Amino acid sequence: MAEDTLFDKILRKEIPADVVHEDDEVFAFRDINPQAPTHVLVIPKAKYESFADLAEQDPDAVGRYMRGIAQVARNLGLEQNGYRVVFNTGPDAQQTVQYIHAHIIAGRQLGWPPG
């Protein structure tokens, strides 16, 4: 069985978080260690451990998840200046929580390539 992660507990409201959006599909909250003026994490309510797992196991859910991420970014007023969406996947990318999450990062000029 998949590990019960920090984000499972945040989704169940067992651990407090600064929630910015919730609907039937997705749940979004501010990152506790923001890397930019806006740094929000978006998770699907249906749990997958990684980006690869979601894409492989439930392709239909990918579209709903992407729409949810775009909706959160729109609600945060990020469309005009833009934003970055990041999925850290696996150890080299430093994925630390084994529950898929999109980082929405915005509010400053972002460097490229990322570190």
Which residues are part of the catalytic machinery?
Answer: 101
When asked if residue 6 is in the footprint of ligand AMP (CB under 6 A), the reply is: yes
* Cβ nearer to ligand AMP, comparing 17 with 78: 17
- Judged on CB neighbours under 10 Å (0-12, 13-18, 19+), 112 is exposed
DSSP state of 113: S
When asked if residue 97 is in the footprint of ligand AMP (CB under 6 A), the reply is: yes
Which of 46, 64, 88, 107 binds ligand AMP (CB under 6 A)? It is: 88
Tokens standing for residue 63: 């579209």
By CB under 6 A, which span of 53-61, 70-78, 88-96, 104-112 interacts with ligand AMP? Answer: 88-96
Determine the Cα angle at 62 with ends 6 and 99, to 5°: 15
Q: Residue 71 is inside which H or E element, if any?
A: helix 59-75
- Name the residues that contact ligand AMP, by CB under 6 A: 6, 15, 17, 29, 31-33, 41, 88, 94-97
